[in-house]
A and B are shown apart, each in its own frame.
Chain A
Amino acid sequence: MTDNPSEDIQAMDFETAFNALQENVSKLEGEDLPLEQALALFERGQALAKRCAALLEEAELKVRTLTVDSEEETEA
């Protein structure tokens, strides 16, 4: 994922960003990476953590209700 320059962290949902953050830190700590790559991972991690925190702070619960009509349509 780090190889993907077009990765859009700002478009990620919480689960994706949080999982990516956990992977990111494991990658950073687990491998002996070249400095440039490590720096890129570090910056990505900072951005992911920021995205996750922003989502948690600002999110409004999205609620929708299925209608019986929609069921009948699909049942039919």
Chain B
Amino acid sequence: MEQYSLFQPQNILSVSQLTGYLRQLIEGDDLMQDLWVEGEISNFSRPSSGHLYFTLKDSQSAIRCVMWRNSAARLTFEPREGLAVEAHGGMGVYETSGQVQLYVDTLRPAGEGLLFQEFLRLKAKLEAEGLFDPSTKQAIPTLPKVIGIVTSLTGAALQDMLNTLRRRYPVVEVVIAPASMQGVAAPGEIVAALKLLNRQVKPDVILVGRGGGSIEDLWAFNDQAVARAVAASEAPVISGVGHETDFTLTDFAADLRAPTPTAAAEVATPDRVDLLGALTELANRHTSYLNSRLSSLRWSLGQAHNTLARLSPSYAVNTYRQRLDEISLRLERAARVDLERKTLHLAHLEQSLRSLNPHAVLNRGYAIVTRSSDGALVKRFDHVNPQDDIRIQVSQGTMDARILQTHQENKHDR
């Protein structure tokens, strides 16, 4: 009975106490709170709450798992029944049912961890070989004539790329080298397609692309033979492997990496609308050059015309004609001034003359006496003798007279 002492009434635990203790044990254990576990999904359910409920099992055991909606939203694949996965999280107790379960925060397909290790190893190896060296990257031509495409004929990626090329740059020629994009045959087919394009077509650029998928679907692009063929391609290679976040070895080896096949077709080509704009601009530059050239020529022509006119004989004649006009004008002016001055002088003289006019003197009572015999002017008393006839001119007439006697004037009489 001793061994059952735990079950004595004073030591009986309630169910809640038991689950609470269990929970304390589990949640206090560091290993239990941060663990990876691998198994197969079963009893998978996803109610409208968005949380995921499933059981992880192997051949012998099973454990309940819960993945809350916010963690489930980060999943990069679709969990389903029977899928082998690796789950990370912490153990807990759902006290309502006493269920011990794993609260999953990260879920990935099984083997991905190993694949990732392998990926890192290969990446380091190829990097060391210089396959990803930026200095070996080829420039992507801006105006390709021929674009090679390596993709699957059945994938949506091909139509995406063709539609993009048709919309942006329809003058390009497209050559498709078909290859499987997933599965065991994919790497070999991709390598062969790349070699075929380089050998037969020599395109200006090669697009390697496939649509989105899980990392497993893209695994061919992590094949080192594919990465090597991409790096060795004579034509520059643009990778457009549809995975926004994960880079494949092909992406590293490519001359340019685009996130999707459509984006790869876009970076490989100029846009038609941009080109039409550039064409208009180039045509306008031609026209504006010609206009400015012509207007400068017109100006030079005008200058030459002026120079010519200045140098012509008729210009000289005109110049002399003008100078002649100027001189004759000055002459005329000078002559007129001279004439005016002389006219004035004449008037002045006339005035003086008028005052000296003997007739004016006669008006004042003087007389002019002339000898009748010869008409000589009698200015002195001895110009005449007694009995000489004289004519006396006075104002308004003359008188004839005879000298009776002459007298010499005594000086002191005056």
Bound Cα distance from A65 to B176, whole angstroms: 5
Task: Return the CB mask of A43-63 against B: 1 if under 8 Å, else 0.
Answer: 001100100110110011111
Please report whether the interface of chain A is mostly helix, strand, loop or mixed according to DSSP.
helix
Q: Which residue of A lies closest to B145 (CB)?
A: A15
Note all chain A residues with C-beta closer than 8 A to B176: 63-66
Say which residue of B172, B174, B197, B283 sits within 8 Å of A45 (CB atoms). B283
Task: Determine the chain A residues whose CB is within 8 A of the CB of B297 once the complex forms.
Answer: 35
Find A63's partner among B162, B171, B279, B290 (CB 8 Å cutoff): B162
Contact among B272, B279, B290 for A49, CB-based, below 8 A:
B279
A66 touches B178 (CB 8 A): yes
Question: Is B200 an interface residue when CB atoms closer than 8 A count as contact?
Answer: yes
CB pair B170–A61 under 8 Å, yes or no, is yes
* CB pair B171 A64 closer than 8 Å: no
Contact between chains at A29 and B200 (CB < 8 Å): no
Provide the residues of chain A in CB contact with B201, threshold 8 Å. 66
State the CA gap A45–B166 with chains docked (Å): 26
Residue B196 at the chain A interface, CB threshold 8 Å: yes
The reply on A38 being an interface residue by CB < 8 A is yes
The 6 closest A-B pairs by CB, nearest first: A14-B171, A45-B286, A59-B170, A15-B143, A49-B283, A59-B171
Residues of B bordering A, CB below 8 Å: 143-145, 153, 162, 165-166, 170-178, 192-193, 196-197, 199-201, 272, 275-276, 279, 282-283, 285-287, 289-290, 293, 297
Residues of A within 8 A of B (CB): 13-15, 18-19, 21-22, 24-25, 28-29, 35, 38-39, 41-42, 45-46, 49, 52-53, 55-56, 59-66, 68, 70-71, 74
